[in-house]
Amino acid sequence: MAKVANKNEVKTSTKSVKVKAAVSKLIKKVASKISSKKAEKKVEDKPVPVKSAVKKSASKAVSKSNNAKAATKVEPKAIKKILVAQPRPESEKSPYFELERKYNIELDFCPFILVEGVAAKDFRKQRVEIKEYTAIIFNSRNAIDHFFRIVDELRIKISPEMKYFCITEAIALYLQKFIVYRKRKIFFGSDGTVNKMLDVITKHKSKERYLVPLNDICRAETLECLAKNNLEHVEVMLYKTVCNDVKDLLKKKHDMIVFFTPGGIKSLFENAPKFVQNDTYIGAFGPITSKAVEDAGLQLQLKAPMPNAPSMVAALDIFLAAQLKKK
């Protein structure tokens, strides 16, 4: 009996060893799987390699560089000084001075560009016979001034049947300074853009030969639209623009600067190459000037003309009133 008991004890002991070995093996297997999963998780959570981080950092740097000229958002503030990029009005009854009194502000006037008329002898060299054309396209008051200057100097008689197409109503009304204003002979676009003016031209039934007075900085947009619509035209240079020296004036800290021509934007950076907008408000008259402001990387706060404000004075009045309400 004792021998049988010993044999049973040996068998039980052997089984126990086998069970322990199996359990141990199972534990190791489970531990191995857990370790493997942890390793995978570490790989997933592994930080971005240095090279990748450098690439991302470089990409952001390039983006910032491309937008270096862009101004930060201008927060509402009190407006006390406005720089108007035009000559000071001759009459003290100018609506600009009404704005000064109404809002208790200070207006500085100074043209950012100077206009130099082309001499009559240089005009003749272009070999353009004004009498051969039946319609004229005007983009600016300067174009009107220098067209009639040349006409006067060369004693050219303009036909009363001549038609005038203007980019804005304000420019069309300026013609009254030189001719009798007749609605059936004077036309203008509805919103101050070249496309709207061309809509008026293309709807015009009679076929015209168009003369386009321009300066040395040719507005390619106008000529491209005319060519695209197969309208017979010729451009003629009547004046050129040069940057005025406004360095001293720019040293005064104005709360707002108002521009009227793309040349004014060019002059700004000629006079102050490191100009940064910061919290300076920018206003622009006309779609071409507005585009020049934005192309220069500046933020535009005031665009004129507007449906309820055909002039810059009217637009400024609305803008200044809105700024007062924000206080």
The average pLDDT across 268-277 equals 95
Contact 212, 233 (CB under 8 A): yes
Pairing, β 210-215 against β 135-138: parallel
Position 189 scores a pLDDT of 84
Which of the residue ranges 53-67, 168-182, 243-257 would you say has the lowest mean pLDDT? 53-67
In the predicted model, what is the mean pLDDT of the chain?
80
Contact 302, 281 (CB under 8 A): yes
The average pLDDT across 294-320 equals 93
The average pLDDT across 46-65 equals 39
What residues form DSSP beta bridges with 136? Answer: 164, 211
Position 219 scores a pLDDT of 65
pLDDT at 129 exceeding the cut of 80: yes
**H/E/C letters for each residue in 189-207?**
CCCCCHHHHHHHHHHCCCC
Contact 85, 265 (CB under 8 A): no
Q: Give the CATH class of 115-242.
A: alpha beta
Position 110 scores a pLDDT of 96
CB atoms within 10 A of CB 270: 17
Domain with CATH 3.40.50.10090 in the chain: 76-112+244-326, 115-242
pLDDT at 75 exceeding the cut of 80: no
pLDDT class of 168 with cuts at 50, 70, 90: confident
How many CA atoms lie less than 13 Å away from 147 in the CB half-sphere?
28
pLDDT class of 292 with cuts at 50, 70, 90: very high
CATH code given to domain 76-112+244-326: 3.40.50.10090
pLDDT at 226 exceeding the cut of 60: yes
Position 61 scores a pLDDT of 40
Pairing, β 135-138 against β 113-117: unpaired
pLDDT at 36 exceeding the cut of 70: no
Strongest mean pLDDT among 10-19, 52-61, 89-98? 89-98
